[in-house]
Amino acid sequence: MVKQALCFEKNEAFQEFNQGKSDKLPACFVPREICEAVENNMLQIIPYVVFYYVDFAGGKLNFFSYTRASGITEERLKDKISLGVGGHIDSVADVVCDDVTVTPLDEEGTAVSDVYHMNAANLKDTVIRVAQREVREELGDIAIIEKIAAYKDSIVVFNLEENDVDKVHACYMVPVQLTLEEMQAMLENTAFNKEEVASISVLPLNFKFLLEGFNFDKALDAMMAELAEKFDIEAWSNVAIYIVTTFVFNIFNKAVTYDDFVKALVSKLESEAVAEPMAVAESQVPAADSEAVVVVEDTVAEEGTPT
């Protein structure tokens, strides 16, 4: 049986649709050998679920992660750490769409894919359906699968251009925030597919570091650099870390006002009985290798309780 994938054409219409400038975008099933050729300008739609837990009190941002098995078919992903669970949309049964152009057989009697004129709601529902299926196939029938649907309006789309494989895939990332209890249950109850997954764990990031430097962009760049140095993380997961971390920072930034900082500062100064005036200097973010800063845990946490 010929492998196929649901694809969009890689053109301006794709960009306009994702920017909300058009209502619908045609998609169709294309044989993988065709859509994986860069010159055909096709983008395979890949749902990609990322699970995370925010420990604001402890200053940690914990991502569910796993190491891909060495026996998987995609050579470029073997033994890499991944935060995302996902895969191709490869079956007509996956697609949610009520505006379909049925395509007749061609002159040689070969079946040609119908065209699905997908609106934003159709695409979100299709992505969620496949995302749930992929999580079930790779991690087992875990309780949080149903929670994925609650995040269909949080889907983030990106397409990398670093190599020929990236150029023909569009990531539809579904970021799913878990509670501590849900993360613990996920680690304890996951019956992962050992053909695809070698091990599961938690990747804990020091979110507190990003806040204390008062220069988020510079601190985040330092964190990403340290991640690249310490761990072999696949490209899409690096993008996911960047997006989710920025999202969580924005939540914190909106919740905490200038007055909150002033009150905390006054309280701290009073408690320490500081009488001399405070010197004002430009905030400096420590280098990632500074002993005073632990941006990323030295090792990925083993299966069990998030740190």
CA 280 to each of CA 215, 262, 277, 283: distance values in angstroms, whole numbers, following the listed order: 15, 15, 9, 9
CA 230 to each of CA 4, 288, 296: distance values in angstroms, whole numbers, following the listed order: 36, 11, 9
255-262 average pLDDT score: 82
What is the tens place of the pLDDT at every residue in 38-90?
Answer: 999 999 999 999 999 999 888 899 999 999 887 766 666 678 899 999 999 99
What pLDDT is stored for residue 263 in this prediction? 86
Instruction: Indicate the pTM of the whole model.
Output: 0.84
Domains and CATH numbers, the chain: 4-272 (3.90.79.10)
Residue 107 pLDDT > 90: no
Instruction: Tokens 């649901």: give the residue.
Output: 6
- E strand residue ranges, 83-210: 84-86, 100-101, 115-119, 156-158, 169-177, 197-206
Greatest Cα-to-Cα distance within the chain, rounded to the nearest angstrom:
89
Q: How confident is the model at residue 303 (pLDDT cuts 50, 70, 90)?
A: low
CA 281 to each of CA 159, 213, 218: distance values in angstroms, whole numbers, following the listed order: 40, 12, 17
What pLDDT is stored for residue 286 in this prediction? 44
What pLDDT is stored for residue 294 in this prediction? 41
What is the tens place of the pLDDT at every residue in 7-47?
Answer: 999 999 999 999 999 999 999 999 999 999 999 999 999 99
What is the tens place of the pLDDT at every residue in 198-249?
Answer: 899 999 999 888 877 778 899 999 999 999 999 999 999 999 999 999 999 9
What pLDDT is stored for residue 57 in this prediction? 87
What pLDDT is stored for residue 296 in this prediction? 54
Residue 173 pLDDT > 60: yes
